[in-house]
Chains A and B, each alone.
Chain A
Amino acid sequence: MEVLNKLYEMTAFGAIGEDPSTLVMLALALFLLYLGIVKRFEPLLLVPIAFGVLLANFPGGNMAVTPSTEIIEHMTILEIAKEHGIMNMLYYMLIKTGLLPPLIFMGVGAMTDFGPMLRNLKLAFFGAAAQIGIFTVLISAVALGFSLKEAAALGIIGGADGPTAIYTAIKLAPNLLGPIAIAAYSYMALVPVIIPLVVKFTVSEKELKINMKEQDKLYPSKVKIKDLNRTKIIFPIVLCAIVSILVPSSVPLVGMLLFGNLIKEIGSDTNRLMVAASETIMNVATIFLGLTVGATMTAATFLDQTTLLIILGGFIAFAISIFGGIMAVKMHNIFSNKKINPLIGATGLSAVPMASRVANDIALKYDDKNHLLQYAMSSNISGVIGSAVAAGVLISFLS
């Protein structure tokens, strides 16, 4: 009998029985795995996050991230690994230091082509307009009782940029990291649902039929690019200098994005670096980011009213950002002869390139010759810069 008791104590059954809320978290982990594997919602990140939730919530596994305390912050990495397990070691080494989001941004930069943006520079303004959701939700969250730092971390979900949302949460509200990461990546995965929904209620059929190529023929651009390759090499260096001088706190994100882009644009001479940034480093960073963020979500930290408010607030921030981009295009169309399809404004979110693909698909439904992917990519890429700059502003004012 004593042997059976010891066997029972060795397993996790006893601990699960004592705290049934663990079962809710395990069910949530399985649901997220279902979304990632079966529904293919951002599987590259949702699967590691979901598995991190699973690992963290099996009692006795010592894989849950312990909330930051002064004692832990003064421990060495070795001491954290010994006392709190390897997941805490990874969390305090890679997440708490803010290392992984910039590494992911470097990979994103190495996969980004600034060509469409350079060919349609004016459209970059709509990437700025689409950041309005971040700040409006910040105000609403403060009104609901969140602290300024927490509200800022919540609002940044409206930028539709996972690494930026995580980076801001690490800097301003690490206690909300788990729900913010889940909300940000879930809504990014739901871009094909959310953009058409907002477009349906805000854009007329006539506006959706605005053909960007025909408008270009009617009102051609005054600036022609003779050497795009050389321009694309110099552009990230110039852009890095501008952002570094004006918003230094956004440099860890924007700077790494532009470095990744530079090593891509140089070509064969730095090809190995580009491959490392966009594949090896990016993949390793994604695995550790997903697992450690998932491991922050235990029943004690996740199952409360705040999480629900974050999920709801994130959706509203997302929708307002899309709405802001669309309204900016509509305003432009009132004052300009050259009309722009409002779908270009809807792609001012980060979510590259999914937002652009969705906008292109919607445009093709109304006019099968209206391929606006290249135009949408311009505001989409500027949205990445815009949300990182917005994060930089929030961090420098609030941290």
Chain B
Amino acid sequence: MESNISNALVLLAIGMITVFLILALVVISGNILIKIVNNYTPKPTKKFSRNYRSATVTAPETLAAIETAVETVTAGHGKVESIQKVEN
């Protein structure tokens, strides 16, 4: 029994230290990763103006809907730069 309790105490120490160590590494590596990704993120070359108005799309809510749809479909990679009416 006594040896089991001392083993349990060892497990408490090792277990908690390991969990803290892993999560500390998660925090550190997360911060490093964010800095690296920030450095390699290309600066936007052409910014889409929210004031842009095409001949056909004028309502701000329509504009917001298009932007949201593009962001969802492209998983955040695509950006709306201009809107043009396609003549059929």
Q: How would residues 347 to 371 of chain A score, 1 for a CB under 8 Å from any chain B CB and 0 otherwise?
A: 0000000000000000000000000
A77 on the B face (CB < 8 A)? no
CA distance A139 to B9 in the complex (A): 7
Q: How would residues 55 to 83 of chain B score, 1 for a CB under 8 Å from any chain A CB and 0 otherwise?
A: 00000000000000000011111000000
A138-B22 in contact given A121-B30, A124-B27, A242-B29 (Cβ < 8 Å): no
A135 touching B11, Cβ below 8 Å: yes
| Neighbouring A residues of B24 by C-beta, 8 Å | 125
- Give B1-35 interface residues, CB cut-off 8 Å to A: 1, 4-5, 7-9, 11-12, 14-16, 18-27, 29-31, 33-35
B22 touching A246, Cβ below 8 Å: yes
B41 touching A230, Cβ below 8 Å: yes
| Neighbouring B residues of A385 by C-beta, 8 Å | 22-23, 26
* Minimum CB–CB distance for A152 against chain B, Å: 7
B26 touching A268, Cβ below 8 Å: no
CA distance A136 to B11 in the complex (A): 10
- Interface segment among A15-23, A105-113, A221-229, A295-303: the answer is A221-229
* Minimum CB–CB distance for B34 against chain A, Å: 5
B86 on the A face (CB < 8 A)? no
Which one, A124, A135, A230, A265, contacts B37 given CB within 8 A?
A: A230
A135 touching B16, Cβ below 8 Å: yes
* Minimum CB–CB distance for A391 against chain B, Å: 10
Which one, A128, A148, A393, contacts B8 given CB within 8 A?
A: A148
Which one, B11, B22, B34, B41, contacts A247 given CB within 8 A?
A: B22
Which one, B5, B23, B27, contacts A386 given CB within 8 A?
A: B23
CA distance A246 to B14 in the complex (A): 13
Interface on chain B toward A: helix, strand, loop, or mixed SS? helix
B49 on the A face (CB < 8 A)? no
CA distance A127 to B27 in the complex (A): 12
| Neighbouring A residues of B8 by C-beta, 8 Å | 135, 138-139, 142, 148, 151
Q: How would residues 367 to 398 of chain A score, 1 for a CB under 8 Å from any chain B CB and 0 otherwise?
A: 00000000000000010011001100110011
Which one, A225, A389, A393, contacts B38 given CB within 8 A?
A: A225
| Neighbouring A residues of B35 by C-beta, 8 Å | 223
| Neighbouring B residues of A239 by C-beta, 8 Å | 26, 29
| Neighbouring A residues of B41 by C-beta, 8 Å | 226-227, 230
In this complex, which of B7, B14, B30, B35 has the most chain A Cβ atoms within 10 angstroms of its Cβ?
B30
| Neighbouring A residues of B21 by C-beta, 8 Å | 246
In this complex, which of B20, B21, B25, B75 has the most chain A Cβ atoms within 10 angstroms of its Cβ?
B75
| Neighbouring A residues of B15 by C-beta, 8 Å | 131, 134-135, 390, 393-394
| Neighbouring A residues of B16 by C-beta, 8 Å | 128, 131-132, 135
| Neighbouring A residues of B9 by C-beta, 8 Å | 139
Q: Identify the closest chain A residue to B35 (Cβ).
A: A223
In this complex, which of B8, B9, B22 has the most chain A Cβ atoms within 10 angstroms of its Cβ?
B22
| Neighbouring B residues of A231 by C-beta, 8 Å | 33-34, 37
**Other than the known A139-B9, A242-B25, what 12 A-B pairs have Cβ atoms closer than 8 Å?**
A121-B27, A135-B8, A136-B12, A142-B4, A148-B4, A225-B34, A225-B37, A231-B34, A231-B37, A246-B25, A394-B11, A397-B14
A selection of 9 A-B contacts at a CB cut-off of 8 Å is: A117-B30, A134-B15, A139-B9, A247-B22, A267-B77, A389-B22, A390-B18, A393-B15, A394-B11
The 9 closest A-B pairs by CB, nearest first: A267-B75, A135-B12, A229-B76, A227-B41, A139-B8, A128-B23, A128-B19, A226-B38, A226-B41
